[in-house]
Amino acid sequence: MTRKILTLLAATTCLAGPAAAQEDDTLKIGVLLTLSGPAAVLGEMARDGFQQAADEIGEIGGMKTEIIIVDDEQKPDIAANKARELVERDGADIVVGPIFSNIAGAIVKPVTDAGAIVISPNAGPSNLAGAECNKAFFSVSYQNDQNHEVMGAYAKEQGFKNVFLIAPNYQAGQDSLAGFKHSYDGGLAGEVFTQLGQLDFSAELAQIAAAQPDAVFAFMPGGMGVNLVKQYRQAGLETIPFLSAFTVDESTLPAQQDAAVGFFSGTNWTPDLDNEANKAFVEGFEAKFGKVPASYAAHGYDAAKLIDAAVRAAGGTADKDALIAALETADFPSVRGDFAFGPNHFPVQDFYLAEVKKREDGQFATSVVKAIFDDYADTYASQCQMK
Protein backbone atom coordinates (compact mmCIF):
# COMPACT_ATOMS: atom_id res chain seq x y z
CA MET A 1 0.00 0.00 0.00
CA THR A 2 1.45 3.35 -0.99
CA ARG A 3 -1.45 5.72 -0.52
CA LYS A 4 -4.73 5.50 1.36
CA ILE A 5 -7.18 8.30 2.12
CA LEU A 6 -9.53 8.08 5.08
CA THR A 7 -12.24 10.54 5.99
CA LEU A 8 -13.44 10.44 9.60
CA LEU A 9 -16.92 11.55 10.57
CA ALA A 10 -18.71 9.51 13.18
CA ALA A 11 -17.06 6.48 11.56
CA THR A 12 -14.22 5.84 9.11
CA THR A 13 -14.73 5.32 5.39
CA CYS A 14 -12.18 4.48 2.71
CA LEU A 15 -12.16 6.58 -0.47
CA ALA A 16 -10.66 5.10 -3.61
CA GLY A 17 -9.74 8.16 -5.62
CA PRO A 18 -7.57 11.23 -4.97
CA ALA A 19 -8.64 13.65 -2.29
CA ALA A 20 -11.49 15.93 -3.24
CA ALA A 21 -11.26 19.67 -2.75
CA GLN A 22 -11.35 20.30 0.97
CA GLU A 23 -13.42 22.61 3.10
CA ASP A 24 -11.85 25.05 5.52
CA ASP A 25 -13.15 23.11 8.52
CA THR A 26 -11.38 19.87 7.57
CA LEU A 27 -8.40 18.71 9.61
CA LYS A 28 -5.99 17.02 7.22
CA ILE A 29 -3.37 14.65 8.60
CA GLY A 30 -0.70 12.97 6.51
CA VAL A 31 0.64 9.72 7.94
CA LEU A 32 4.07 8.99 6.44
CA LEU A 33 5.51 5.66 7.58
CA THR A 34 7.57 2.72 6.36
CA LEU A 35 4.90 0.31 5.10
CA SER A 36 6.88 -1.93 2.74
CA GLY A 37 10.05 -4.01 2.93
CA PRO A 38 11.52 -5.83 5.95
CA ALA A 39 10.75 -2.93 8.33
CA ALA A 40 7.09 -2.62 7.30
CA VAL A 41 5.89 -4.15 10.57
CA LEU A 42 7.14 -1.07 12.44
CA GLY A 43 5.18 1.36 10.29
CA GLU A 44 2.14 -0.90 10.34
CA MET A 45 2.19 -0.88 14.14
CA ALA A 46 2.33 2.93 14.24
CA ARG A 47 -0.40 3.20 11.61
CA ASP A 48 -2.67 0.75 13.43
CA GLY A 49 -2.21 2.48 16.79
CA PHE A 50 -2.98 5.86 15.23
CA GLN A 51 -6.02 4.45 13.43
CA GLN A 52 -7.32 2.83 16.61
CA ALA A 53 -7.28 6.16 18.42
CA ALA A 54 -8.76 7.97 15.41
CA ASP A 55 -11.62 5.49 15.31
CA GLU A 56 -12.25 5.96 19.02
CA ILE A 57 -12.23 9.75 18.71
CA GLY A 58 -14.33 10.03 15.55
CA GLU A 59 -13.78 13.65 14.57
CA ILE A 60 -10.27 14.53 15.72
CA GLY A 61 -10.22 17.91 17.40
CA GLY A 62 -13.97 18.13 16.78
CA MET A 63 -13.32 18.63 13.05
CA LYS A 64 -14.12 16.59 9.98
CA THR A 65 -10.88 14.67 9.54
CA GLU A 66 -9.07 13.39 6.48
CA ILE A 67 -6.16 11.01 7.04
CA ILE A 68 -3.87 10.32 4.08
CA ILE A 69 -1.58 7.33 4.61
CA VAL A 70 1.55 6.98 2.47
CA ASP A 71 4.55 4.65 2.39
CA ASP A 72 7.96 6.32 2.62
CA GLU A 73 9.54 3.08 1.31
CA GLN A 74 12.37 3.69 3.81
CA LYS A 75 14.04 5.90 1.20
CA PRO A 76 14.86 9.50 2.20
CA ASP A 77 14.50 10.99 -1.29
CA ILE A 78 11.13 9.34 -1.88
CA ALA A 79 10.00 10.31 1.62
CA ALA A 80 10.93 13.96 1.05
CA ASN A 81 8.92 14.07 -2.18
CA LYS A 82 5.90 12.42 -0.61
CA ALA A 83 6.10 14.74 2.39
CA ARG A 84 6.04 17.77 0.08
CA GLU A 85 3.03 16.33 -1.74
CA LEU A 86 1.17 15.80 1.51
CA VAL A 87 1.56 19.45 2.44
CA GLU A 88 1.67 21.30 -0.87
CA ARG A 89 -0.79 19.21 -2.90
CA ASP A 90 -3.02 17.62 -0.25
CA GLY A 91 -2.92 20.51 2.23
CA ALA A 92 -1.95 18.47 5.28
CA ASP A 93 -1.94 20.51 8.48
CA ILE A 94 0.04 17.83 10.34
CA VAL A 95 2.33 15.04 9.16
CA VAL A 96 2.61 12.07 11.52
CA GLY A 97 5.85 10.17 10.93
CA PRO A 98 8.35 8.78 10.33
CA ILE A 99 9.74 5.56 11.80
CA PHE A 100 13.40 5.96 10.82
CA SER A 101 15.64 8.85 11.79
CA ASN A 102 17.26 9.21 8.38
CA ILE A 103 13.74 9.74 7.00
CA ALA A 104 13.09 12.37 9.69
CA GLY A 105 16.19 14.18 8.50
CA ALA A 106 14.75 14.26 4.99
CA ILE A 107 11.18 15.37 5.73
CA VAL A 108 11.23 17.81 8.64
CA LYS A 109 12.52 20.83 6.71
CA PRO A 110 10.23 20.56 3.66
CA VAL A 111 7.18 19.94 5.85
CA THR A 112 7.83 22.70 8.37
CA ASP A 113 9.03 25.19 5.75
CA ALA A 114 5.68 24.68 4.01
CA GLY A 115 3.86 25.64 7.21
CA ALA A 116 2.82 22.22 8.53
CA ILE A 117 3.69 20.44 11.77
CA VAL A 118 5.55 17.12 12.12
CA ILE A 119 4.68 14.74 14.95
CA SER A 120 7.02 11.77 15.12
CA PRO A 121 5.63 8.51 16.55
CA ASN A 122 9.11 6.99 16.68
CA ALA A 123 12.15 8.77 15.21
CA GLY A 124 13.87 11.04 17.72
CA PRO A 125 17.28 12.00 16.32
CA SER A 126 19.71 13.85 18.56
CA ASN A 127 20.14 16.82 16.21
CA LEU A 128 16.39 17.59 16.29
CA ALA A 129 16.41 17.34 20.07
CA GLY A 130 19.36 19.70 20.31
CA ALA A 131 20.92 22.32 18.09
CA GLU A 132 18.53 21.77 15.17
CA CYS A 133 15.31 21.70 17.21
CA ASN A 134 12.29 23.08 15.38
CA LYS A 135 9.19 24.68 16.86
CA ALA A 136 7.02 22.75 14.38
CA PHE A 137 8.57 19.35 15.18
CA PHE A 138 7.36 17.21 18.08
CA SER A 139 8.51 13.72 19.03
CA VAL A 140 5.76 11.89 20.88
CA SER A 141 8.08 8.91 21.48
CA TYR A 142 11.54 9.68 22.94
CA GLN A 143 14.95 10.95 22.00
CA ASN A 144 16.80 8.08 20.30
CA ASP A 145 19.47 7.77 22.98
CA GLN A 146 17.14 7.32 25.93
CA ASN A 147 16.05 3.67 25.79
CA HIS A 148 19.68 2.77 25.22
CA GLU A 149 20.71 4.85 28.22
CA VAL A 150 18.45 2.57 30.26
CA MET A 151 20.53 -0.43 29.26
CA GLY A 152 23.78 1.40 29.88
CA ALA A 153 22.62 2.19 33.40
CA TYR A 154 21.55 -1.44 33.92
CA ALA A 155 24.90 -2.75 32.63
CA LYS A 156 26.70 -0.45 35.06
CA GLU A 157 24.42 -1.54 37.90
CA GLN A 158 25.16 -5.19 37.13
CA GLY A 159 28.90 -4.52 37.24
CA PHE A 160 29.58 -5.56 33.65
CA LYS A 161 33.15 -4.59 32.78
CA ASN A 162 33.38 -5.68 29.16
CA VAL A 163 30.35 -5.17 26.86
CA PHE A 164 30.16 -5.80 23.11
CA LEU A 165 28.10 -3.18 21.21
CA ILE A 166 26.38 -3.69 17.85
CA ALA A 167 24.04 -1.44 15.84
CA PRO A 168 23.30 -0.52 12.20
CA ASN A 169 25.23 2.39 10.74
CA TYR A 170 22.70 5.23 10.50
CA GLN A 171 21.58 8.10 12.74
CA ALA A 172 19.52 6.04 15.19
CA GLY A 173 22.23 3.37 15.37
CA GLN A 174 24.85 5.97 16.18
CA ASP A 175 22.53 7.58 18.74
CA SER A 176 21.86 4.17 20.31
CA LEU A 177 25.49 3.42 21.08
CA ALA A 178 26.09 6.99 22.21
CA GLY A 179 23.12 6.60 24.57
CA PHE A 180 24.41 3.33 26.00
CA LYS A 181 27.85 4.82 26.62
CA HIS A 182 26.28 7.90 28.22
CA SER A 183 25.17 5.71 31.15
CA TYR A 184 27.85 3.00 31.02
CA ASP A 185 31.46 3.74 31.91
CA GLY A 186 32.92 0.23 31.76
CA GLY A 187 35.10 -1.32 29.11
CA LEU A 188 34.13 -2.38 25.59
CA ALA A 189 34.87 -5.79 24.14
CA GLY A 190 33.98 -4.49 20.71
CA GLU A 191 31.90 -1.88 18.91
CA VAL A 192 30.50 -2.78 15.50
CA PHE A 193 28.30 -0.85 13.08
CA THR A 194 26.61 -3.06 10.52
CA GLN A 195 24.91 -2.18 7.25
CA LEU A 196 21.34 -0.94 7.66
CA GLY A 197 19.08 -3.82 6.64
CA GLN A 198 21.71 -6.51 7.21
CA LEU A 199 20.21 -9.93 7.95
CA ASP A 200 23.25 -12.24 8.24
CA PHE A 201 25.25 -11.70 11.44
CA SER A 202 27.56 -14.71 11.29
CA ALA A 203 30.71 -12.57 11.14
CA GLU A 204 29.65 -10.38 14.07
CA LEU A 205 28.58 -13.40 16.15
CA ALA A 206 32.00 -14.97 15.54
CA GLN A 207 33.57 -11.78 16.92
CA ILE A 208 31.34 -11.97 19.99
CA ALA A 209 32.18 -15.63 20.57
CA ALA A 210 35.89 -14.83 20.35
CA ALA A 211 35.63 -11.80 22.65
CA GLN A 212 33.56 -13.56 25.35
CA PRO A 213 32.19 -10.27 26.75
CA ASP A 214 30.31 -9.88 30.02
CA ALA A 215 27.25 -8.89 27.96
CA VAL A 216 26.12 -7.84 24.49
CA PHE A 217 24.16 -4.69 23.80
CA ALA A 218 22.29 -4.58 20.49
CA PHE A 219 20.07 -2.12 18.68
CA MET A 220 18.55 -3.96 15.71
CA PRO A 221 14.96 -2.99 14.88
CA GLY A 222 12.57 -4.96 12.68
CA GLY A 223 13.80 -7.87 10.58
CA MET A 224 17.39 -7.19 11.60
CA GLY A 225 16.48 -7.91 15.22
CA VAL A 226 14.54 -11.05 14.31
CA ASN A 227 17.55 -12.55 12.58
CA LEU A 228 20.12 -11.41 15.13
CA VAL A 229 18.23 -12.97 18.06
CA LYS A 230 17.61 -16.27 16.26
CA GLN A 231 21.22 -16.48 15.09
CA TYR A 232 22.46 -15.54 18.58
CA ARG A 233 20.63 -18.55 20.04
CA GLN A 234 21.73 -20.82 17.19
CA ALA A 235 25.34 -19.81 17.82
CA GLY A 236 25.03 -20.98 21.43
CA LEU A 237 25.72 -17.54 22.86
CA GLU A 238 22.72 -17.37 25.20
CA THR A 239 24.98 -17.68 28.27
CA ILE A 240 26.19 -14.16 27.47
CA PRO A 241 23.51 -11.69 28.69
CA PHE A 242 21.69 -10.05 25.76
CA LEU A 243 20.74 -6.41 26.41
CA SER A 244 18.91 -4.37 23.80
CA ALA A 245 16.43 -1.74 22.77
CA PHE A 246 14.00 -2.16 19.83
CA THR A 247 15.50 -5.59 19.17
CA VAL A 248 13.18 -7.76 21.27
CA ASP A 249 9.79 -6.11 21.34
CA GLU A 250 6.24 -6.77 20.22
CA SER A 251 7.13 -6.03 16.59
CA THR A 252 9.80 -8.75 16.48
CA LEU A 253 8.57 -11.26 19.09
CA PRO A 254 5.97 -12.98 16.84
CA ALA A 255 8.92 -14.14 14.71
CA GLN A 256 11.52 -14.57 17.48
CA GLN A 257 9.23 -16.34 19.97
CA ASP A 258 11.11 -18.58 22.43
CA ALA A 259 14.48 -17.42 21.11
CA ALA A 260 13.89 -14.04 22.78
CA VAL A 261 12.48 -15.21 26.13
CA GLY A 262 14.54 -13.88 29.03
CA PHE A 263 16.27 -11.19 26.97
CA PHE A 264 16.20 -7.65 28.35
CA SER A 265 15.36 -4.32 26.77
CA GLY A 266 15.17 -0.67 27.73
CA THR A 267 11.86 1.02 27.04
CA ASN A 268 9.42 3.80 27.88
CA TRP A 269 6.40 1.51 27.56
CA THR A 270 5.27 -2.11 27.85
CA PRO A 271 1.85 -3.71 27.30
CA ASP A 272 1.51 -4.39 31.03
CA LEU A 273 2.22 -0.82 32.13
CA ASP A 274 -0.27 -0.26 34.93
CA ASN A 275 -2.60 2.62 34.10
CA GLU A 276 -6.19 2.75 32.87
CA ALA A 277 -5.44 4.36 29.50
CA ASN A 278 -2.89 1.68 28.69
CA LYS A 279 -5.13 -1.18 29.75
CA ALA A 280 -7.89 0.12 27.47
CA PHE A 281 -5.46 0.66 24.59
CA VAL A 282 -3.91 -2.82 24.77
CA GLU A 283 -7.25 -4.56 25.15
CA GLY A 284 -8.69 -2.60 22.22
CA PHE A 285 -5.65 -3.16 20.01
CA GLU A 286 -5.54 -6.90 20.59
CA ALA A 287 -9.28 -7.18 19.90
CA LYS A 288 -9.05 -5.04 16.74
CA PHE A 289 -5.83 -6.36 15.20
CA GLY A 290 -5.34 -9.78 16.80
CA LYS A 291 -1.80 -9.12 18.00
CA VAL A 292 0.07 -7.60 20.93
CA PRO A 293 0.91 -3.92 20.31
CA ALA A 294 4.49 -2.68 20.23
CA SER A 295 5.69 0.73 21.39
CA TYR A 296 5.32 1.98 17.81
CA ALA A 297 1.57 1.36 18.13
CA ALA A 298 1.45 2.95 21.58
CA HIS A 299 3.13 6.11 20.26
CA GLY A 300 0.85 6.19 17.20
CA TYR A 301 -2.13 5.97 19.53
CA ASP A 302 -0.78 8.76 21.74
CA ALA A 303 -0.07 10.90 18.65
CA ALA A 304 -3.75 10.87 17.67
CA LYS A 305 -4.85 11.62 21.24
CA LEU A 306 -2.32 14.48 21.40
CA ILE A 307 -3.56 16.00 18.15
CA ASP A 308 -7.17 15.72 19.27
CA ALA A 309 -6.50 17.52 22.55
CA ALA A 310 -4.35 20.24 20.95
CA VAL A 311 -6.70 21.02 18.05
CA ARG A 312 -9.62 21.32 20.48
CA ALA A 313 -7.62 23.62 22.75
CA ALA A 314 -6.46 25.78 19.81
CA GLY A 315 -9.95 26.01 18.35
CA GLY A 316 -8.85 24.50 15.04
CA THR A 317 -5.78 24.66 12.83
CA ALA A 318 -6.03 28.14 11.28
CA ASP A 319 -3.59 29.68 13.77
CA LYS A 320 -0.44 27.52 13.58
CA ASP A 321 1.27 29.33 16.46
CA ALA A 322 -1.75 28.68 18.67
CA LEU A 323 -1.76 25.03 17.61
CA ILE A 324 1.94 24.66 18.41
CA ALA A 325 1.36 26.24 21.83
CA ALA A 326 -1.55 23.86 22.41
CA LEU A 327 0.58 20.86 21.46
CA GLU A 328 3.25 21.96 23.94
CA THR A 329 0.78 21.86 26.82
CA ALA A 330 -1.81 19.35 25.58
CA ASP A 331 -3.54 17.36 28.30
CA PHE A 332 -4.45 13.88 27.12
CA PRO A 333 -4.56 10.41 28.74
CA SER A 334 -1.23 8.96 27.58
CA VAL A 335 -0.77 5.18 27.64
CA ARG A 336 2.47 5.93 29.50
CA GLY A 337 0.75 7.68 32.40
CA ASP A 338 2.84 10.75 33.21
CA PHE A 339 3.73 12.60 30.01
CA ALA A 340 4.84 16.16 29.25
CA PHE A 341 6.92 17.84 26.57
CA GLY A 342 10.26 19.37 27.45
CA PRO A 343 11.41 22.70 26.00
CA ASN A 344 12.73 20.95 22.86
CA HIS A 345 9.37 19.24 22.12
CA PHE A 346 10.61 15.83 23.26
CA PRO A 347 8.84 13.95 26.08
CA VAL A 348 9.76 13.98 29.74
CA GLN A 349 8.74 10.50 30.90
CA ASP A 350 9.68 7.36 32.82
CA PHE A 351 11.89 4.57 31.45
CA TYR A 352 12.02 0.90 32.40
CA LEU A 353 14.00 -2.30 32.26
CA ALA A 354 11.79 -4.89 30.55
CA GLU A 355 12.09 -8.64 30.02
CA VAL A 356 10.59 -10.84 27.32
CA LYS A 357 8.06 -13.33 28.67
CA LYS A 358 5.67 -15.89 27.24
CA ARG A 359 2.14 -15.10 28.39
CA GLU A 360 -0.39 -17.70 29.55
CA ASP A 361 -2.25 -17.26 26.25
CA GLY A 362 0.89 -18.25 24.32
CA GLN A 363 1.65 -14.71 23.13
CA PHE A 364 5.07 -13.17 23.67
CA ALA A 365 5.44 -9.70 25.22
CA THR A 366 7.79 -7.47 27.14
CA SER A 367 7.07 -6.91 30.81
CA VAL A 368 8.30 -4.26 33.24
CA VAL A 369 11.01 -5.48 35.59
CA LYS A 370 11.68 -2.15 37.28
CA ALA A 371 11.87 1.58 36.67
CA ILE A 372 15.32 2.92 35.77
CA PHE A 373 14.67 6.65 35.14
CA ASP A 374 11.87 8.81 36.52
CA ASP A 375 10.57 11.90 34.65
CA TYR A 376 13.65 11.73 32.47
CA ALA A 377 14.48 14.47 29.95
CA ASP A 378 16.95 13.89 27.15
CA THR A 379 20.51 15.17 27.37
CA TYR A 380 20.29 17.36 24.24
CA ALA A 381 17.54 19.72 25.42
CA SER A 382 20.06 22.25 26.74
CA GLN A 383 21.39 22.70 23.19
CA CYS A 384 17.96 23.64 21.84
CA GLN A 385 17.32 27.31 21.14
CA MET A 386 13.74 27.07 19.91
CA LYS A 387 12.95 29.47 17.05
Q: Is the pTM of this model over 0.75?
A: yes
Mean pLDDT of 113-121: 97
Domain boundaries along the sequence of the chain: 27-144+273-349, 146-267
Banded pLDDT at 379 (limits 50, 70, 90):
very high
Higher pLDDT, 164 or 11: 164
Identify the pLDDT of residue 8: 54
Q: Which CATH number fits domain 27-144+273-349: 3.30.70.260, 3.30.365.10, 3.40.50.2300, 3.40.50.300?
A: 3.40.50.2300
Identify the pLDDT of residue 38: 83
Q: Up-side HSE of residue 242: CA atoms within 13 Å toward CB?
A: 27
Identify the pLDDT of residue 39: 87
What does the pLDDT look like over 178-229, one tens digit per residue?
999 999 999 999 999 999 999 999 999 999 999 999 999 999 998 999 999 9
Q: How far is residue 251's CA from residue 269's CA, in Å, rounded to a whole number?
A: 13
DSSP 288-323: HHSS---HHHHHHHHHHHHHHHHHHHHTSSS-HHHH
Whether the predicted pLDDT of 9 surpasses 50: no
Total residue length of the chain: 387
Identify the pLDDT of residue 59: 97
Identify the pLDDT of residue 6: 67
Phi, psi (deg, nearest 5) at residue 250:
-70, -10
Identify the pLDDT of residue 2: 54
Mean pLDDT of 115-130: 97
Q: Which of 133, 139, 141, 81 is nearest to 111 (CA)?
A: 81
Task: Tell me whether the CATH fold assigned to 27-144+273-349 matches the one assigned to 146-267.
Answer: yes
- Average pLDDT along the chain: 93
What does the pLDDT look like over 47-92, one tens digit per residue?
999 999 999 999 999 999 999 999 999 999 999 999 999 999 999 9
Banded pLDDT at 25 (limits 50, 70, 90):
confident
Identify the pLDDT of residue 356: 98
Which overall architecture, per CATH, does domain 146-267 show? 3-Layer(aba) Sandwich (3.40)
State the Cα angle at 233 between 230 and 234, rounded to 5°: 85
What does the pLDDT look like over 146-179, one tens digit per residue?
999 999 999 999 999 999 999 999 988 998 999 9
Torsion sign (Cα): 120, 130, 87, 310? positive
Q: What percent of the chain has pLDDT over 90?
A: 90
